[in-house]
Structures are given as C-alpha cells and as structure tokens.
Chains A and B, each alone.
Chain A
C-alpha cells in the first residue's frame, strides 16, 4: 500500500457567488484519523468532496488550488479522475447501498476496475466483509438485496464496499449520524482499527466524537481553516478565540 498523506495548498471553492472554502492550506498526516469539525454549513462536506473531486458533479462549482497525494495533483488535467476516486474511499452521511445484492455491492468496485468473477473475487468480498465485522451476519444471504439490511449494517457494508477497491484514504462524511448509538460505536471502533492501514479524514459536528477519534483536528468555520493541530493540543490549548468558543459550546 502506497504512502498517502495529503497536502492541500490554497484550496478555494466557489458556488456561484458563495465562497465555500477560503484559501485552505494544510498537511494531513498519513495513517491517522484527522477529524474535521465545525458548525453546519461551514464547508466540511465541500472540503471532503473537493478531495476526491466528487465536487465536479456539483454544477457551478469553481475550484482552485492544489490537492496533492503522493506528489500527484488531484486537479491536474492529466490525472484520471476515476483513478483519484479509486484511491479515496467515501463513506457517506447516510448509507447508500447500490440497488443490487449484498455480494454485488462489495464486488461492484473491483468489477468496474477489472476484477473477473471467481474465487478470488469471492475472497475479496469475504475479506472486506470480515474487516467491517459484517461477514458473520450476512454470509448465508449474500444474494439478498442490500437494502434489506439494517441501517447500521448498510453503513458497514458501504465501508466494506469502499475498502474493496483498495483505497489509501478513507473520507468519512458524518458516517454515524444516521446510526443508532450501538452501530455508531461499532463504526468508530472499526475506524480506529483501520487507521493502521488507511489515512482517514472524518467529518463530524459532534465534539465528543471528535475527542474519541481524533489524532489530528481541523476546525473549519464559514469556509475558513481557523485552527488545526494534534488532538491533545487542539482540545487542551486552542489558540483562536473562535475555536475556544466552539469547543466550549458557545455556538454550533
């Protein structure tokens, strides 16, 4: 697995007249959980989507700046966008199983990237479902529709699906917000386990969750990168008054 930290330089995103991200520059450490916090509408989701260029799908979005993975600029014209997205798995706010069976959901990614059906694909599917601790729950009914699973199971299935394309980075957009506390806990534990293999960027507006998960913290406010730093330092001695206010629960 390749080394993947992310280097972001002067990233700007505009929607029409709205400046959604302003001059964001930061280095995201590899194989750590970097938590992005901030109140709703501060640009957290935009930030994630501009990393894997899912933002290209939003009409009227203008992006400038650099996002570098392994010295490769994501926004370079010569870059194949499907390759970029393959390297960054996305786990969305609400689980979005594809309209197919449990097996086919996990196999979807490998198949579009050229995997042939057979025992090796079966093995990949099993491994990925094992990693997210879903295998024992679904092994007897892999051909059932994925939408029949509970929401918590669906989210773990989506994680398995993301892992199946062998990404280096996992982008998590409030992945526990639709889950019950138990399932949310499972997802958190899973991510803590996965960080030895993946660079994880986790967006949340729940401070307690950020404290539980974060190795590194980024605080976004109104599209601006206000403060960032290692988790202990960030929570113990925030330097910016806005960060302090947010941590103390004054707004958000």
Chain B
C-alpha cells in the first residue's frame, strides 16, 4: 500500500523536481510573451509564445475535431449496435489504434501528405493528432457510457422516446462528467506529443497565421532547445517543459473541478 503510493508520488515529484529545478531559472516573462528573436537558439533574447499558442491551437483544434467524431462513435457502440460482433470488432480496432506509437501516426500522415502534395501545416498537425487522439477519447467515452445504468434507458424508452432522444438527452447527461474527463485526457495526450507533429505540423519561429502554415509546438520547442550545445538554451528547454506541464495540470484541474460540478444531476 505505502510502497505503491511511494512509487507513484515519488516519480511524480521526481519529474516535477528535475523540470522545475533545471527550468525555473530560465522561466522569465519574456519566455511566455515573446517569439524567438534572432539568435534565440544561441542564448539571446526572445521566448516561445509561438509554440505555446501553436500548441494550444493544434491540440484545441484536434480535440474539437476528435470530439465531433468520438461522441457519435461511442454512442453508436452503446446505444445502437448492442452486443454485436461489429461493436466488439470496432472496440478491438480502437484498442489496437490506441497502442500504435504516435511516431507511426506521424509517418503515416506524412506519407499521405507527400501523396497529395501538402506541406507541413497546422491543418495537417490537427489531422494527425486527431488520428492519435481518436482511440483515446472514443474508448474513454465508451467506458463512461457503458456504465450508464440500463434502468435510465428503460425509463426514457418507457416514456416513448426514440433511441436518438434517449442517447442525446439521457445517456449523454448521465455520462457528462466522464465525457469531459475523456475530452481533457485526450487533450493532455495530444498537446504533449512531439512525434506525431514532427513531420506534419513543421516548426516556425513566427506566430501561427493560418491553418495552412507550419506551426510551432511546445514538445518540439523542447526537443530543439535541448538538442543545442548551449547550456542557456538547454535550460530554456526545461522552462518550456514547465509551461507544458502547467497547461496539462490546468487541464486536469479543470477536469476535476468541472466533474464535481457536473455530477450534480447525475443519478447514482
């Protein structure tokens, strides 16, 4: 009992400690308010606002797109398909997709991009991260919807509702807190992933202007900075790590907080 707590809390604190100790000295206001100036990667002036905004756009866009796809799939699996082979095959496929490393999604999307002659851009980054998030969000929602008590469905059907009304007005309401958690879980995974956006979103020192332009992201900002031989820049990589960590922590705080609020109407 205490050993498992020690291992989990210990690794959490160890990761925080390393990132914060190494990154905190470089975490200045200009890091989060400026884009890289000339010579930034040699230790000169600037910040990574471009990557912060880029990551938020990319993960936000991908989360929205994934949500639009995941919710209907999860509802379909539970409310329409019953215990069919089709449903279990879909679940199995999602589990396989979940297990595929993100670099493979990146490579796959890159192949498609070469085929259609597209350049790295925010749009392709969103598409790739959507592919990567889809199994995560769908399966998480699926599990949440699956535990909605069947007596709620029966109560709704008994009043003469259709499947669609039952799915949208009763099941999703009962599953709302879990759905929010699923969305933010996927967001957290998406915003932190470097491999899937490496070839597909590209990198740039300027702010994102359109979805057809390359866009900088935080994981790649960390990757490029830590790869330089200059100690100041390496430290900034850790500072970027802190920023990423804060965003992910905020997402899970929002999830925790909103879940509590949304639980209000949920039937236990």
Contacts and interface: CB of A to CB of B under 8 A. Distances in A.
23 contacts: A59-B82, A83-B160, A85-B157, A89-B158, A92-B151, A92-B158, A94-B151, A96-B151, A96-B154, A96-B155, A98-B152, A98-B173, A99-B152, A99-B267, A101-B265, A109-B159, A112-B165, A145-B265, A145-B266, A146-B267, A158-B155, A162-B158, A165-B160
A103 B160 CA distance: 18
B180 to A, nearest CB: 14
Contacts of B173: 98-100
Nearest to B268: A147
Interface in B148-175: 149, 151-162, 165, 169-170, 173-174
A90 interface: yes
Given A99-B170, A99-B266, 9 more contacts: A54-B154, A96-B152, A96-B267, A99-B152, A99-B265, A100-B265, A109-B160, A158-B155, A165-B160
B83 interface: yes
A98 to B, nearest CB: 6
A7 to B, nearest CB: 21
Given A82-B161, A108-B169, A147 B266 contact: yes
A54 B155 CA distance: 10
A52 interface: yes
Interface in A90-125: 90, 92, 94, 96-101, 108-109, 112-113
Nearest to B160: A86
B265 A112 contact: no
B145 to A, nearest CB: 13
Nearest to B153: A57
B160, B266, B267 interface centre (most CB from chain A within 10 Å): B160
Interface in B236-268: 264-268
B154 A85 contact: no
A122 to B, nearest CB: 19
B196 to A, nearest CB: 36
Please name the 8 residue pairs, one residue from A and one from B, whose CB atoms are nearest each other, closest first.
A86-B160, A90-B158, A109-B159, A96-B155, A99-B174, A85-B160, A82-B160, A96-B151
A82 B166 CA distance: 12
Nearest to B155: A96
B200 to A, nearest CB: 40
Interface of A: 52, 54, 57, 59, 82-86, 88-90, 92, 94, 96-101, 108-109, 112-113, 145-147, 158, 161-162, 165
Contacts of B156: 98, 108
Contacts of A96: 149, 151-152, 154-155, 267
A83 to B, nearest CB: 7
Interface in B77-94: 82-83
A112 B159 contact: yes
Nearest to A56: B157
A101 B267 CA distance: 11
Contacts of A84: 160
A166 B264 CA distance: 29
Contacts of A146: 265, 267
B155 A92 contact: yes
A161 B152 CA distance: 13
Among A83, A100, A146, find the residue whose CB has the most chain B CB atoms closer than 10 A: A100
Given A85-B158, A98-B170, A145 B153 contact: no
Contact of B169 (A92, A94, A112): A112
B265 A85 contact: no
A178 B130 CA distance: 47
A10 B174 CA distance: 39
Interface string B111-126: 0000000000000000
A108 B82 CA distance: 25
Given A112-B169, A145-B264, A147-B266, A92 B161 contact: no
Interface string B60-83: 000000000000000000000011
Nearest to A109: B159
Contacts of B162: 82, 112
A101 B173 CA distance: 11
Contacts of A54: 154, 157-158
Contacts of B157: 54, 57, 85
Contact of A57 (B154, B169, B264, B267): B154
Contacts of B265: 99-101, 145-147
Interface centre among A54, A82, A84, A146 (most CB of B within 10 A): A82
A31 B174 CA distance: 36
